[in-house]
Chain A
Amino acid sequence: MKLFSKLYLPIILSAAFFLNACTKDEAVTVDPTAQLIKLTEGYATGAATKVLVYTESSVINTGYTRFYLQLKDSASGADVTQAQVMLMPMMDMGTMKHSAPVENPVSEKATDGLFQAASVFIMSSMGGSWTMTFTVRRPESGKRGSLAIPVTVTDPAKATVKSFTAADDGQKYFIALIEPAQPRIGINDFEIGVYRKATMMSFPADSALNFTIEPEMPTMGHGSPNNVNPTHAQLGHFKGKVNFTMTGFWRVHLDALHGTAVADTTQYFDIEF
């Protein structure tokens, strides 16, 4: 019986699934927002556009946060797939204001009906209030308008954004952990976004640094073999591989250099799974 269930059950089940899938596939069109959370919606007044704001989680933490915008014409209700979208986060701390790193949609064309952007919230709402302003420009009409929404940003259990002032050039850098978002045993993608604080309002992506990583289990004092240091891919994103030999609490140490000049050796990301 066991052999039967081991061999035949999966076959029968997969056959059933396959048949089932065949019949359903034609009817279903994938909703691009199905896996997303709608944060809010509103009108970009002046652009005659309704903006629906989606995120991957209902809780927005400090760190790298993706925004997905669905645009609709406020008159016709039709999907808008061609637009220039810009993000401007602003932290009002009462005595001062500052912005944060952003990644505007790379194209004016929507992908699957969505404009994808991101922002790196570099502090939580404990220190003030965050406002995110989405500016939409419709190329066909040239109309331009904005939607500003308040955003509540909390600190996650393990920080995913770090900053340091480089020892060699005196500049302040922000580093956001992007991957692994779903850490597991084995080889994980390691991706960070690196931004330099040019002014209080400008945090351009930086590709001049290079990094070495070293994972460690602080409780045990051991690391893991065959990690791949992140190298610059594009737009300040650095990609490498981090290996976790077991579940638990890991600390990935990060050393930043300009060539051979040491910028910083104190940063790390804690990852627990």
Chain B
Amino acid sequence: MSRAGSKPFPVKKIILLIGTCIGPLMLFAQQSLPANPFTDSTRFIELREVHLQARTASPQQRLVNFYRGNASFTLEDIMARLPEVSFQRRGPYGMEPSIRGYTGGQINVLIDGMRIYGACTDKMDPPTIYIEPLNLDHVQVQTGQNGFLHGSSIGGSVLLKMAEPKHDEEGNLHASVSSGYSSASKGWYESARLHFGTGRWSFLANGTYRKNQDYRAGGGETIPFSAMEKANYGFSAKYRLNENLSVKADFLGDDGWNIGYPALPMDVGYAAARIGSLSIQSEKPKQGWTNWNAKLYANRVQHYMDDTHRPNVPMHMDMPGLSKTYGAFAEGMRQTGQRHSLRLRADVSSTFLTASMTMYPPNEVPMFMLTWPDHRKMQSGLGAAWTFDADSNWRFQANARVDFITHRLTSTDGKEEVAVLGYDTDGRNDLLSNLSLSATRKLLARSAVFMNIAYAERIPTGSELYGFYLFNAQDGYDYIGKADLLRESSFQAETGIKGIVGNVQRVRVSYQLTGFASYLDNYITGIVEPDLSAMTIGANGVKSYQNLPWALQAGGEASLSGALHKQWQAVVTIRYTYARDDQGDPLPFIPPLKSMLSLRYQPGRFSAQAEWEAASRQERYAIRAGEDETPGFMLLHLRCGYSFPVSTSRIGLQAGVENVFDTFYHEHLDWGNIPRQGRNVYIQLNLSF
């Protein structure tokens, strides 16, 4: 299919070339940017932040900052340590984030506020893969009543903020290079970052290259088709118009080659994303509208699945996919007097999706079909959060969001396929509304209890509406869409307490305890269609996406982090989610009880950290979704770091052992029960100036 097909760009070579040229320049390097976490490890929330439930980032951000110190971590490694987040794993790369068991179309994943849709019908490419810790400024996971402010969703939002150039009048050049090795995947990690600011201009460039071989699971088994290679590179330029206003251009590129997905029947041959944006933003809070920014953006994701490396393939096939999105948004906040504040976001976007499959039987004509009938989704929405401080003890907040979304099939073949399934081909129009109300009551000096209720809706995904015989390796069924699916909606309630106890200087503990429950209406899931014959050779049958009458999901999270004499830090998180459908069966991909304990000792330049990770057995599994019982496990990771200055530069060395006991395990959300990485020794060197 030519439509998905401009030629793969030889980015790999160009990156190697650039790397060779500028690498030596960066040898004496200083880590300018966020944060060597070993030096700013004590980021405790302030009361203001506890109080401001609207900006829930802080306890979570503290975890992110704590964990991003491990330079070998991917974004997925960091996010997986947040109590709200788990990942559906089809391979070691491209894991799909899940918030409290909500995933896919139930949540938003936005990069700098931009919508990016994967081009893979098998969900190999969630947008989180485009962010490396190197180009991440911060990640925010919004749940509950805040979860839909950036887009109608029932499960929340993952907001990824890319690093941006900082204003610097001096004309300083900051650069850093990192190189690392991981033993379990014989993997290399290389990255470089360059920051330059002069006068009104400032620039930031970064690149990351990873290449892993098939990794070794606990016990020694090598997992076939788990290798990967990718390059990620970004450039951004900012021009300061005046003290309050700047314009910015960003480009982010990501190329992956031969990325293995051991739980799926195919791998990725080549995948490419090009993400660009132009923005204008306010730099400093002031009267009137503050923290506002407006952005125009476009992105394009191409994805080519590949089975040529797999043995026993009954028939070779190509599966290209393409996603193109362009959009714009503006958001800002306005303080009215001392008591009211209003945050607004208006956005529009248009997404085109297509994917096809061509099979090549011997001595016959090729078989072609659209797996995603070409279609365009147009979305426009308005979100608002209004906060009212009634008095010094009470705060109320109301969030609302409306979205108008249209879907249109754009090709004759696409319409014909949808017609074959018996659906109307005129497309659909949906108006979605989301509303939440919350109240926060201050307790004691630095704690607060909160309670919120919300109603939220989400639009079915492209696959759920129009998917055409998409094979699901987990349950072995071909999935077809249902163009007239009803919107999934949820009534949710959340309550909790959070705060800080202890002395500011010596011992301090911050805590958060949250309980939540949602009643899902028209829960979307795959239901067996006994009369239809499976397209995929060897599949168990066909399922179509259908609305179940209802489902229920409830659970809780707790996190505790403490500091002692600034040299010791401890973080504990624990979470549990329960979910069932209307028949009383468990919902799929719900994580079991899981806890994580991290202890860090940092007397000076040296730091040492131990992480203990434990998950209980998951006995509540969804048989109809192909799940089985997942045994519990316990893991221990040990890490250490040392960083020291050499004249004007700084050298950092990090090393560690993950899965010290070489435990053979997999998590409940891992497809195909593919075991995770065994004992892994890593080392990473960072030079910065």
A-side residues, CB < 8 A to B, are 184-187, 217, 219-226, 243-249, 272-273
- New contact pairs (18) apart from A225-B531, A243-B420, A248-B361, CB-CB < 8 Å: A184-B416, A185-B416, A186-B415, A186-B420, A187-B419, A219-B367, A220-B359, A220-B535, A220-B537, A221-B537, A225-B420, A245-B535, A246-B368, A247-B365, A247-B368, A248-B359, A248-B365, A248-B366
- State whether B368 touches A248 (Cβ < 8 A): yes
Which chain A residues border B419 with CB–CB below 8 Å? 186-187
Knowing A184-B416, A245-B420, A272-B364, say if A222 contacts B369 (CB, 8 Å): no
Q: Is the CB of A219 within 8 A of B361?
A: yes
List the A residue with the shortest CB-CB distance to B537.
A220
11 A-B residue pairings within 8 Å (CB atoms): A185-B369, A186-B413, A186-B417, A220-B535, A221-B533, A224-B420, A225-B422, A245-B469, A246-B535, A247-B365, A248-B367
Q: Which B residues contact A (CB, under 8 angstroms)?
A: 315, 357, 359, 361, 364-370, 412-413, 415-417, 419-422, 468-469, 531-535, 537
In the assembled complex, the CB of B3 is this many whole angstroms from the nearest CB of chain A, namely: 14
| Distance, CA A185 to CA B361, complexed state (A) | 18
Q: How far is the CA of A273 from the CA of B367 in the complex (A)?
A: 9
| Residue in A223, A244, A249 whose CB lies within 8 Å of B361 | A249
Measured between beta carbons, the chain A residues less than 8 angstroms from B468 are 245
B416→A225 contact, CB < 8 A = no
**3 closest A-B pairs by CB:** A186-B416, A248-B367, A246-B369
Residues of B within 8 A of A225 (CB): 420-422, 531-532
Q: Which residues of A contact B369 (CB under 8 A)?
A: 185, 245-247
The answer for the CA separation of A220 and B534 in the assembled complex, in Å, is 9
- How far is B468's CA from A184's CA once the two chains are assembled, in angstroms? 16
Set of chain B residues within 8 Å of A226, measured between Cβ atoms = 420-422
Residues of B within 8 A of A249 (CB): 361, 364-365, 367
Q: How far is the CA of A248 from the CA of B317 in the complex (A)?
A: 13
Assembly CA distance A245 to B359 (angstroms): 13
- Complex CA–CA separation, A267 to B534 (angstroms): 23
Contacts of B533 in A (CB 8 A): 221-224
* Cα–Cα, bound, A184→B420 (Å): 12
**Which residue of A185, A220, A222 contacts B417 across the interface (Cβ within 8 Å)?**
A185
Chain A residue with Cβ nearest B534: A222
Q: How far does the Cβ of A108 sit from chain B's closest Cβ, in whole Å?
A: 40
Bound Cα distance A272, B417 (Å): 18
Which residues does chain B contribute within 8 Å of A273, judged by CB atoms? 365
Asked whether B420 lies within 8 Å of A187 as measured between CB atoms, the reply is yes
Chain A hits for B415, CB < 8 A: 186
Q: How many whole Å from A252's CB to the nearest CB in chain B?
A: 14
CB contact under 8 A between A245 and B417, given known A219-B361, A220-B535, A222-B534:
yes
Chain A residue, CB-CB nearest to B422: A226
A225 nearest in chain B by CB position: B532
In the complex with contacts A226-B422, A245-B535, A185-B413 CB distance below 8 A: yes
Kindly list chain B residues whose C-beta atoms are within 8 Å of the C-beta of A223: 533
Q: Kindly list chain A residues whose C-beta atoms are within 8 Å of the C-beta of B364.
A: 219, 248-249, 272
> Complex formed: what's the CA distance from A105 to B580 in Å?
67
Tell me the nearest residue of chain B to A3, going by C-beta: B326
User: How many angstroms from the CA of A219 to the CA of B367 in the assembled complex?
Assistant: 10
Question: Closest chain B residue to A184 by CB distance?
Answer: B416
How distant is the Cα of A247 from the Cα of B417 in the complex, in angstroms?
A: 11
Nearest Cβ in chain B — how far from A47, in angstroms? Answer: 47
Most chain B CB within 10 A, of A187, A244, A246, A273, is at: A246
Cα of A223 to Cα of B365 in the assembled complex, Å = 17
B537 CB contacts on chain A under 8 angstroms: 220-221
Complex Cα–Cα for A63 and B276 (A): 58
Residues of B within 8 A of A222 (CB): 533-535
CB neighbours (8 Å) of B370 from chain A are 185
State how many angstroms separate the Cβ of A158 from the closest Cβ of chain B: 11
Give the shortest distance, in Å, between A253 (CB) and chain B (any CB): 13
Nearest CB of B to A217, in Å: 7
In the complex, what distance in Å separates the CA atom of A207 from the CA atom of B533?
31
Shortest CB-to-CB span from B535 to chain A, Å, is 5
Closest B-chain residue to A216, C-beta based? B533
Residues of B within 8 A of A244 (CB): 420
Residue numbers in B under 8 Å from A245 (CB-CB): 369, 417, 420, 468-469, 535
In this complex, the member of B370, B420, B468, B534 whose beta carbon has the largest number of chain A beta carbons within 10 angstroms is B420
- Give min CB distance, B328 to chain A, whole Å: 14
Q: How far is the CA of A223 from the CA of B537 in the complex (A)?
A: 12
Select from chain B the residue with minimum beta-carbon distance to A273. B365
Q: Which residues of A contact B532 (CB under 8 A)?
A: 225
Residues of B within 8 A of A185 (CB): 368-370, 413, 416-417
CB neighbours of B412 from chain A (8 A): 186
Shortest CB–CB separation between residue A229 and chain B, in angstroms?
15
**Nearest Cβ distance between residue B27 and chain A, in whole angstroms?**
42
- Nearest A residue to B364 via CB reads A249
Closest beta carbon of chain A to B311's beta carbon, Å? 20
In the complex, which residues of chain A have a beta carbon less than 8 angstroms from the beta carbon of B359?
A: 220, 248
* Cα–Cα, bound, A244→B367 (Å): 11
CB contacts (< 8 Å) of B361 on chain A: these are: 219, 248-249
Which residues from chain B contact A247 at a C-beta distance below 8 Å?
A: 365-369
In the assembled complex, which residues on chain B have CB atoms less than 8 Å from the CB atom of A243?
A: 420
Could you say which residues of chain B place their CB within 8 Å of the CB of A186? Answer: 412-413, 415-417, 419-420
- State the CA gap A223–B532 with chains docked (Å): 8
- Report how far A185 CA is from B368 CA in the complex, Å: 9
* Distance in angstroms between the alpha carbons of A103 and B532 in the assembled complex: 38
- Choose among B359, B469, B532, B533 the residue with the greatest number of A CB atoms under 10 Å from its CB: B533
What residue of chain A has the Cβ atom nearest to residue B315's Cβ? A219
Once bound together, how far apart are the Cα atoms of A243 and B357, in whole Å?
Answer: 18
CA distance A247 to B364 in the complex (A): 11
Q: Which residue of B lies closest to A188 (CB)?
A: B416
CB closest chain-A residue, reference B368: A247
In the bound complex, CA of A186 to CA of B537 (Å): 21
How many Å from the CB of A221 to the closest CB on chain B? Answer: 7
Q: Separation in Å of the B368 CB from the closest CB of chain A?
A: 4
- In the bound complex, what is the Cα–Cα distance between A244 and B421 (angstroms)? 11
Q: Report the bound CA distance from A59 to B557 in whole Å.
A: 75
Best-buried of B367, B368, B469 by chain A (most CB within 10 Å): B367
Minimum CB distance partner of B416 in chain A: A186
**Distance to closest chain A CB from B351 (angstroms):** 16
Q: What residues of B have a CB within 8 angstroms of the CB of A184 in the complex?
A: 413, 416
Nearest to B532 among chain A residues (CB) is A225
Are B365 and A246 in touch, CB under 8 angstroms? no
In angstroms, how far is the closest chain A Cβ from the Cβ of B365?
6
- Per the bound structure, the CA–CA distance linking A22 and B367 in Å amounts to 42
Interface contact B367-A217, CB-CB below 8 Å: yes
Q: Tell me, in angstroms, the Cα distance from A241 to B420 when the chains sit together.
A: 10
| Minimal beta-carbon separation of B108 from chain A (angstroms) | 27
Determine the residue in chain A with the shortest Cβ distance to B480. Answer: A225
Query: Once the chains are docked, how many angstroms separate the CA of A249 from the CA of B370?
Result: 16
Find chain B residues with CB under 8 A from A224 CB.
Answer: 420, 533
Once bound together, how far apart are the Cα atoms of A38 and B434, in whole Å? 68
Chain A residues near B367: list those with CB within 8 A. Answer: 217, 219-220, 246-249
A220–B360 Cα distance when bound, in Å, is: 11
The docked-state distance in angstroms from the alpha carbon of A217 to that of B366 is 12
In the assembled complex, which residues on chain A have CB atoms less than 8 Å from the CB atom of B421? 225-226
Q: How far is the CA of A248 from the CA of B361 in the complex (A)?
A: 9
Q: Roughly how many angstroms separate A249 CA and B363 CA in the complex, as a whole number?
A: 11
- In the complex, chain B residues whose CB is within 8 Å of the CB of A221: 533, 537
A226 and B531 CA atoms in complex are apart in Å by: 10
Collect the chain A residues with CB atoms within 8 Å of residue B534's CB. 222
Chain B contacts for A272, CB-based, 8 A: 364-365
* Docked pose: A217 CA to B230 CA in angstroms: 38
Q: CA–CA, A23 to B455, complex, Å?
A: 60
In the bound complex, how far is the Cα of B532 from the Cα of A185, in angstroms?
17
Q: What is the chain A residue whose CB lies nearest that of B326?
A: A3
| Residues in chain A near residue B368, CB distance under 8 A | 185, 246-248
Complex Cα distance, B422 from A224, in Å, reads 12
Whole-angstrom CA separation of A243 from B367 in the bound complex: 15
B42, chain A: closest CB distance, angstroms: 51
A220 nearest in chain B by CB position: B537
